């Protein structure tokens, strides 16, 4: 098998496993890309585009829930107009900040050392939040308010720092704002769709417009998308069951251990 196809398989698994866990998929893809010596403009586009596989896994897993967004009836909960308002408030802050600072983020933060720092900061933050007795009275995404949705959107901006983790930011942010751990995780899955969709579309446009993508790249991208989709589908189910009765502490410890490894071993440099 061509070496690029093997790289696509590895990165597809990494993306599918980490996109919805609070450990940072972008950070893991950056580290894996450096370890595999797969870096540069093409790798940047590939790493964003395969996130679409994870996005499609959410769409498949929550197709019934997402169908409620298409109704014109005001049935309450996270559906119809109210659903669009909540998702819009959660999505807008990160999209705006990400667009404004996209060049600085790409140039300064897409490197192993900044990723390691973000892993540490996010891991410590998770441990602190898990050690505090939080009042969680929103036990369903249907109970989410637009204020909570906006607050989660502001927390999501932290994930513009690769290694911080979009899932960690939205789940921990949701918990701080009164959502149960499981509810915060479920809303994090749903809120990933527009963010990933926008990032994928933008990078595809850049790749096509800048002639960075070739027809010969299609097999690699297809394999990465497929592997990411299958892996993410399984991860969503397992993680949701996990957070129904357990804390995020193991993920925080993992983040700290990974950060130490990145700073210690040159393979990630």
> What residue has token string 């963010």?
195
Residue 209: CB atoms within 10 Å: 9
The band of 201, judged by pLDDT with boundaries at 50, 70 and 90, is confident
Residues facing 259 on adjacent strands: none
Q: Is 77 left (phi over 0), alpha (psi -120 to 50) or beta?
A: left
CA dist 207 and 196 (Å) reads 16
Task: Read off the pLDDT of residues 118-147 as tens digits, 9 standing for 90 and up.
Answer: 999 999 999 999 998 788 889 999 999 999
How high is the pLDDT of residue 46? 86
Task: For the chain, give the mean pLDDT.
Answer: 90
Tell me if residue 247 falls in helix, strand or coil. Answer: coil
Give the whole-angstrom CA distance, residue 256 versus residue 249: 11
Q: 43 lies in which domain range?
A: 3-268
Listed in sequence order, the residues at least 6 apart from 77 whose beta carbon sits closer than 8 Å to its beta carbon are 68, 83, 140, 141, 142, 143
Query: What's residue 246's pLDDT?
Result: 92
Spell out a b/e string for 14-29, using b for 16 or more CB atoms within 10 Å of the CB, else e. Answer: bbbbbbbbbbbbbbbb
* 144 vs 202: which has the higher pLDDT: 144
pTM reported for the whole predicted model: 0.91
The number of folded domains in the chain is 1
């Amino acid at each position: 098998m061509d070496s690029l196809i093997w790289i696509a398989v590895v990165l597809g698994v990494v993306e599918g496993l980490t996109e919805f866990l609070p450990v940072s998929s972008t950070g893991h893809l950056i580290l894996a890309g450096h370890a595999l010596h797969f870096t540069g403009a093409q790798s940047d586009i590939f790493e964003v585009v395969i996130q679409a596989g994870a996005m499609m896994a959410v769409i498949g897993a929550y197709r019934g829930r997402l169908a409620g967004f298409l109704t014109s009836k005001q049935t309450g909960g996270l559906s119809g107009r109210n659903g669009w308002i909540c998702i819009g408030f959660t999505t807008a802050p990160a999209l705006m900040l990400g667009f404004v600072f996209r060049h600085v983020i790409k140039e300064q933060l897409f490197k192993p050392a900044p990723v390691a720092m973000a892993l540490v900061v996010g891991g410590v933050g998770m441990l602190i939040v898990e050690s505090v007795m939080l009042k969680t009275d929103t036990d369903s995404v249907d109970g989410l308010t637009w204020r909570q949705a906006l607050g989660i959107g502001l927390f999501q901006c932290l994930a513009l720092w690769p290694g911080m983790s979009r899932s960690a930011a939205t789940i921990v942010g949701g918990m701080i704002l009164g959502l149960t751990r499981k509810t915060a995780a479920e809303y994090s899955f749903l809120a990933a769709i527009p963010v990933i969709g926008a990032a994928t579309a933008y990078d595809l446009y850049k790749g096509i417009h800048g002639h960075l993508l070739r027809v010969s790249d299609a097999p690699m991208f297809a394999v990465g998308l497929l592997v990411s989709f299958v892996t993410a589908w399984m991860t969503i189910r397992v993680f949701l069951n996990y957070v129904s009765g357990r804390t995020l502490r193991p993920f925080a410890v993992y983040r700290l251990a990974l950060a130490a490894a990145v700073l210690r071993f040159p393979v990630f440099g």
